[in-house]
A and B are shown apart, each in its own frame.
Chain A
Amino acid sequence: MLILVISLVGLLFAGGAAEKKSGEINLEWWTWDADMLESNKQIIAQFEKENPGVSITNTIIPTTEYWTKIRIQANQNKLPDVFTMSSGYIEEWAKEGLVYNLDSFVEKDDTFDYFYKAIFDTSKEISAADHYYSIPFALVTTVLYYNKDAFDKAGVAYPTDDWTWDDFRSAAKKLTVDTNVDGKIDQWGFTFTGRYAEIEPWVYANNGNFVDRSTMRFNPDKNALDALKMLTNLVLVDKVAPPQKDMSTFKLEEVFYGEVAAMWVDGSWLTDSFRRNIGDDFRWGFVRIPTGPSNKRVTYGWPDSYALAPNTKHPEMAWKFARYVAGEGIGLDLYMAGKIPSAKALAESPEFVDPAVQPGLDMLKLIELAASPMTTSYTMGWSEWRGYGGSDSLGLNGMIDAIINGQMSFDEAMKKGSEGINTVLSRYYK
């Protein structure tokens, strides 16, 4: 009986070992988008055809568990050869030496013939390192979405790249309407919450900063404070935007396609959702965030990237595959609308800008923005102090909501918020 059990177990191991042929290169590729299962299989099949002797295994882990699982892999020194890396964590991973230094590849081959150097440099800046640690495959930025039909009805000219904050505010005033005159506003000129994708764009459009990068402490400069004041006054003074608590039943961007807000600031990736949810209900477009009084601006945007394991057994092939899936070997249909491919061929292809599908030629602005200098508020411990995901009612997000909900004054919230944020930052940056 014992002999039977031992031989069965032995067979299992023999079976497993038999799958690996000697001389073959096996790469592990980890991603987090479950919708891409079939597409990934096709990509792998194509790559394996073009590169005989290489086999790729794709593991998809849903976003809610991805980071926990991949951290454990890092802990065990068993990181996959190529894996999806987020801008929110790249700094920490680069600092801990958990990603492969890509300088040797990037500098010696034709990477920048195929990919936008600006996007690579943005990635490098976000990782706060002197080397390239990730290969970006898509870039997202933030834009001002606007409801063209609502603008027409109110007789307001559409937003342009020359818009200032005053232009924005006066338009918002004319677009805040009580259509059935019952004392309740039916359409707000603008709506926002304390969320990063809705606040940071304005700060950077005024050349402001939340974090003093020399001390790594939360210390918003005058430009940043002006941006926050302008925004909070939209609710408290101008009354062209509702307090966050009034809109809590909505799933954020729903206010735009639900025609409750005439303007909405958020990531360019919402193009996908708006195309599906708005369809032909109304005409809409987007424009870059209006410029602040400082008259200087930086774009708010960041890439999603792939990184290589620091101890990958096949760096050259892993790099080749990473370039392939980062844009060289894939089609535009695999990109969510509103995400800008880092591969020049894809971004500049006619399919990227389809005048027949909303928002039409506005998509060209995304390429323009992708080429401009970019920055973010990412630091280590960002989701804790900024308030994101499971903690989105806390941190700076919660503080800004408290101001516009009338629960705290501006100065009180800034003071209390700074203390909390700097407690977190001082843990990561001594």
Chain B
Amino acid sequence: MTQTPFRWHRRITPWIFILPTVIGLLIFRLIPIFSSFYLSFTEWNLLRKAQFIGLGNYVEMMKSREFLMTLTNTLQFSLVYVVGSMALGLALAVLIDVQIKGISLYRAAIYLPVVTSAVAVGIVWNWILGPTYGIVSNIFESLGLTAPYWLSDPKLALNTVASLQVWKMSGYYMIIFLAGLQAINKDVLESARIDGANAFQSFFRITLPMLMSTFFFVLTITIIDSFKNFELIYAMTKGGPQNASNTLVYDVYLNAFVFYRVGYASAIAYILLVFVGLLTILNFFIKKYFVYSLD
């Protein structure tokens, strides 16, 4: 016999190594995803068996005024978050792309909110933006203006929470943009400067086009991150006032764990999945046509 002993080990060994990950993926991701899909066609209050109701949950969603508002809120939140995070992230990256003493301190300070607990952020900003007693109100009053009700006004609540999420997460996108900026060949910018280009022309005609692949990467992840807004809404407004800051993610929580309507919550979760999926596909198509990497 010329075969080395235990040859069969070599074929199954790789599978054994990835088995823990596969089991984890199955139990914590894939099986729940499929169960959730099934549950979205049922009515289940957790007490008894889930009852199959066909498209009942989806029909209820389509007829619900509140759901439509939640949907538009989600899209509005995403818009504010994506535009805000990218603009602020890029601006911050440009600002700190300098070699001065203590620059790491600034970078760390800007990054700090990213790793701060969302609940802590919510509580502190609640105080800062608080009417009558908050710092912002007092500044407004000292200038002779009346401070708006940032979190209690139905017209402002959503944008306030979205902006705070931008403030919290910009540091993260700044780091990514910074990496992109530092990968740009300085010689190109140098020769542009010699040719008489000013800072603006330099930025918009050279830096930005060369940043395109980073740009679209950040666009993809901000779109995905824009749907992760549960913690801040829970800490600050609980979806209020009157549904004004309710988004799909918070609505899933409300329906599943406060109202105990697990079937309906699963249906909402699937609508959320559809939206994230559509936006991601859109993103890929745009990227295909607009990104060119310069070597």
A248–B151 CB distance below 8 A:
yes
Whether, in the assembled complex, B127 has its beta carbon less than 8 Å from a beta carbon of chain A, the answer is yes
B257–A68 CB distance below 8 A:
yes
Contacts of A320 in B (CB 8 A): none
Whether, in the assembled complex, A240 has its beta carbon less than 8 Å from a beta carbon of chain B, the answer is no
Contacts of B130 in A (CB 8 A): 248-249
Q: Closest residue of chain A to B127, judged by CB? A: A249
Q: Closest residue of chain B to A64, judged by CB? A: B257
A248–B152 CB distance below 8 A:
yes
Interface size on B, residues (CB 8 A): 33
B241–A393 CB distance below 8 A:
yes
B258–A389 CB distance below 8 A:
yes
A393–B257 CB distance below 8 A:
no
A393–B242 CB distance below 8 A:
yes
Whether, in the assembled complex, A375 has its beta carbon less than 8 Å from a beta carbon of chain B, the answer is no
Q: Chain A's nearest CB lies how many Å from the CB of B246?
A: 8
Q: Mark B132-155, 1 if CB is under 8 A from A, else 0.
A: 111000000000000001011110
Q: Chain B's nearest CB lies how many Å from the CB of A6?
A: 19
Q: Chain A's nearest CB lies how many Å from the CB of B264?
A: 10
B47–A75 CB distance below 8 A:
yes
Among A380-430, those with CB < 8 Å from B are: 381, 383-384, 389-394, 398-399, 401-402, 405, 407, 420
In the bound complex, what is the Cα–Cα distance between A104 and B134 (angstroms)? 59
Interface size on A, residues (CB 8 A): 32
A93–B47 CB distance below 8 A:
yes
Contacts of B127 in A (CB 8 A): 249
A246–B240 CB distance below 8 A:
no
Whether, in the assembled complex, A127 has its beta carbon less than 8 Å from a beta carbon of chain B, the answer is no
Q: Chain B's nearest CB lies how many Å from the CB of A109?
A: 30
A402–B242 CB distance below 8 A:
yes
Contacts of A381 in B (CB 8 A): 259
Whether, in the assembled complex, B254 has its beta carbon less than 8 Å from a beta carbon of chain A, the answer is yes
Q: Closest residue of chain A to B256, judged by CB? A: A68
B47–A394 CB distance below 8 A:
no
Whether, in the assembled complex, A144 has its beta carbon less than 8 Å from a beta carbon of chain B, the answer is no
Q: Mark A11-52, 1 if CB is under 8 A from B, else 0.
A: 000000000000000000000000000000000000000000
Contacts of B237 in A (CB 8 A): 393
Taking a contact as CB atoms closer than 8 A, the residue among A96, A246, A383 that contacts B47 in the complex is A96
B240–A398 CB distance below 8 A:
yes
Contacts of A98 in B (CB 8 A): 47
A391–B46 CB distance below 8 A:
no
Whether, in the assembled complex, B243 has its beta carbon less than 8 Å from a beta carbon of chain A, the answer is yes
Contacts of A399 in B (CB 8 A): 242
In the bound complex, what is the Cα–Cα distance between A311 and B240 (angstroms)? 41
Whether, in the assembled complex, B76 has its beta carbon less than 8 Å from a beta carbon of chain A, the answer is no
B152–A384 CB distance below 8 A:
no
Contacts of B238 in A (CB 8 A): 390-394
Q: Closest residue of chain B to A399, judged by CB? A: B242
Taking a contact as CB atoms closer than 8 A, the residue among A384, A394, A405 that contacts B239 in the complex is A394
Whether, in the assembled complex, B36 has its beta carbon less than 8 Å from a beta carbon of chain A, the answer is no
Contacts of A420 in B (CB 8 A): 66
Taking a contact as CB atoms closer than 8 A, the residue among B46, B131, B151, B240 that contacts A74 in the complex is B46
Interface of chain A, helix or strand or loop or mixed? helix
Contacts of B58 in A (CB 8 A): none
B152–A391 CB distance below 8 A:
no
Q: Chain A's nearest CB lies how many Å from the CB of B268?
A: 14
Whether, in the assembled complex, A362 has its beta carbon less than 8 Å from a beta carbon of chain B, the answer is no
Whether, in the assembled complex, A328 has its beta carbon less than 8 Å from a beta carbon of chain B, the answer is no
Whether, in the assembled complex, A209 has its beta carbon less than 8 Å from a beta carbon of chain B, the answer is no
Contacts of A383 in B (CB 8 A): 258-259
Whether, in the assembled complex, A245 has its beta carbon less than 8 Å from a beta carbon of chain B, the answer is yes
Whether, in the assembled complex, B72 has its beta carbon less than 8 Å from a beta carbon of chain A, the answer is no
Q: Closest residue of chain B to A419, judged by CB? A: B65
Whether, in the assembled complex, A198 has its beta carbon less than 8 Å from a beta carbon of chain B, the answer is no
Whether, in the assembled complex, A244 has its beta carbon less than 8 Å from a beta carbon of chain B, the answer is yes
B45–A249 CB distance below 8 A:
no
Whether, in the assembled complex, B234 has its beta carbon less than 8 Å from a beta carbon of chain A, the answer is yes
In the bound complex, what is the Cα–Cα distance between A67 and B246 (angstroms)? 23
Whether, in the assembled complex, B270 has its beta carbon less than 8 Å from a beta carbon of chain A, the answer is no
Q: Chain A's nearest CB lies how many Å from the CB of B52?
A: 16
Whether, in the assembled complex, A259 has its beta carbon less than 8 Å from a beta carbon of chain B, the answer is no
A391–B257 CB distance below 8 A:
no
Given A244-B152, A383-B258, A384-B258; A391-B133 close (CB under 8 Å): no
A391–B258 CB distance below 8 A:
yes
Among B147-181, those with CB < 8 Å from A are: 149, 151-154
Whether, in the assembled complex, B260 has its beta carbon less than 8 Å from a beta carbon of chain A, the answer is yes
Give the interface of B toward A (CB within 8 A): 45-49, 66, 126-127, 130-134, 149, 151-154, 234, 237-243, 246, 253-254, 257-260
Q: Supply 7 further A-B pairs (C-beta < 8 A) apart from A390-B257, A393-B242, A407-B242.
A: A68-B46, A74-B47, A248-B130, A248-B131, A248-B152, A394-B240, A394-B246
Question: Can you list 23 A-B contacts with CB-CB less than 8 angstroms, sorted by A residue number?
Answer: A67-B260, A71-B47, A74-B47, A75-B47, A75-B48, A96-B47, A96-B48, A244-B152, A245-B152, A246-B132, A248-B130, A249-B127, A249-B130, A249-B134, A383-B258, A389-B258, A390-B258, A391-B259, A398-B241, A399-B242, A401-B241, A402-B242, A405-B241
